[in-house]
Amino acid sequence: MIRVLFVCLGNICRSPMAEGIFRKLVHDEQLTEYIEVDSAGTSDWHIGKSPHEGTLSKLAEYEVSAEGMAARQLTVNDAEDFDYIIGMDAENIGNIHNIFGESNHQRIIRFLDLTSHQKDVPDPYFTGDFQETYDLVLEGCQALLDLIKKEEVFS
């Protein structure tokens, strides 16, 4: 089983959006028995809360499920439990490394490094632009799935 973890600051906007979109892509490619998806935040501000209304609304608009999602904080154990750890921005990547400490995890990736954008996914909690975030996350999720399909063997 390949395990993918999306990480942002609070785990209510970007990372649950990515979790939902990536789950849908995995389902559509009939890879659910091979790939498991989750999300977390580097802060403890929203633990146990549902995704932000803007995220829920945008996911519903595109018929992407957010069922069962609740914010949680990234833990040291996630370094061992997940194969791909995807941070939404450079600050998240730094926080992931701080939380993991001396972990030598090989696949901590800044999300949009997988695309031609080479920048951070803007946080719609602050920008209010959930459409821009959705578009970037969708592109990143497709690029990540393409990478996983290249790197991993499914049989």
For residues 80-85, give the mean pLDDT. 96
Q: Are 63 and 78 in contact (CB under 8 A)?
A: no
Which CA distances in Å does 151 have to 99, 144, 147? 26, 10, 6
Domains of the chain, each with CATH number or no CATH: 2-151 (3.40.50.2300)
- What's the pLDDT tens digit per position in 22-75? 999 999 999 999 999 999 999 999 999 999 999 999 999 999 999 999 999 999
128-133 long-range contacts, Cβ below 8 Å, gap at least 24?
128/54, 130/13, 130/17, 130/54, 130/55, 130/57, 130/58, 131/58, 133/13, 133/14, 133/17, 133/58
**What is the pLDDT at residue 102?**
77
**Catalytic residue positions?**
8, 14, 123
Torsion of CA 14, 11, 82, 94, to 10 degrees: 80
pTM of the predicted protein model: 0.96
Q: How far apart are CA 29 and CA 23, in angstroms?
A: 10
- What's the pLDDT tens digit per position in 115-140? 998 799 999 999 999 999 999 999 99
